[in-house]
Chain A
Amino acid sequence: GESVGLHLPTLSVQEGDNSIINCAYSNSASDYFIWYKQESGKGPQFIIDIRSNMDKRQGQRVTVLLNKTVKHLSLQIAATQPGDSAVYFCAENQGSARQLTFGSGTQLTVLP
């Protein structure tokens, strides 16, 4: 079946380094891919999205890359800060109601 999954469940980086969080997807018909950040005990917060006809999109300190050939999505965070510690989910858009299919998440821990 179609699915969205993540390569690594945990990632630890030193403060100030760049972080790369990866995601694999299998539904090549998805229109959008979205990255969410979820802090402990809180709801997910939208970070950035990318259309399926794009291969790169940049935001503030974040860049999302989409490789449709290998069905791979990544989120790059520049100069990682302690406040970036959270679980990061990739999600793909399905259906006309724009409901999302989420992966299981990657826990990012920023080390001092």
Chain B
Amino acid sequence: DGGITQSPKYLFRKEGQNVTLSCEQNLNHDAMYWYRQDPGQGLRLIYYSQIVNDFQKGDIAEGYSVSREKKESFPLTVTSAQKNPTAFYLCASSLQGATEAFFGQGTRLTVV
């Protein structure tokens, strides 16, 4: 089945540790995005990438890093510099110029 897959579904991290969230899509989409969602709130854009080996900061990029070495993959690293990393993280992809973005099922990150 075509789609966008995030892993793991739940992730626990100790304070001071970096952690990487996986996002893979087999939809042949050029554009990929990472959003953060806090309880009772909408989604906020962390990073986005329109093409391989290129990405741009979104509204809340501080404390996060990404890479786009392959079209199918857009991993997000939550670094120890992120002051409040506990949240629900959503990855999405879309065709260039499309209005419809396809979302993964999310990764819930908890700092313990």
B-contacting residues of A (Cβ < 8 Å)?
Answer: 4, 9, 31-32, 34, 41-46, 49, 89, 91, 93, 97-105
Q: Which 5 A-B pairs have the closest CB atoms?
A: A43-B103, A102-B42, A102-B43, A32-B99, A104-B42
Residues on the A chain within 8 Å of B102, using CB: 46
A-B contact count (CB 8 A): 62
Decide if B100 touches A44 in the complex (CB within 8 Å). Answer: no
Q: How far is the CB of B96 from chain A (nearest CB, A)?
A: 8
Whether B43 contacts A89 by the Cβ 8 Å rule is yes
B45 to chain A: which residues have CB within 8 Å? 99-101
- By the criterion of a CB under 8 Å from any partner CB, how many residues of chain B are at the interface? 29
| Chain B residues with a Cβ under 8 A of chain A | 6, 31, 33, 35, 40-45, 48, 50, 56, 58, 90, 92, 94, 96-106, 108
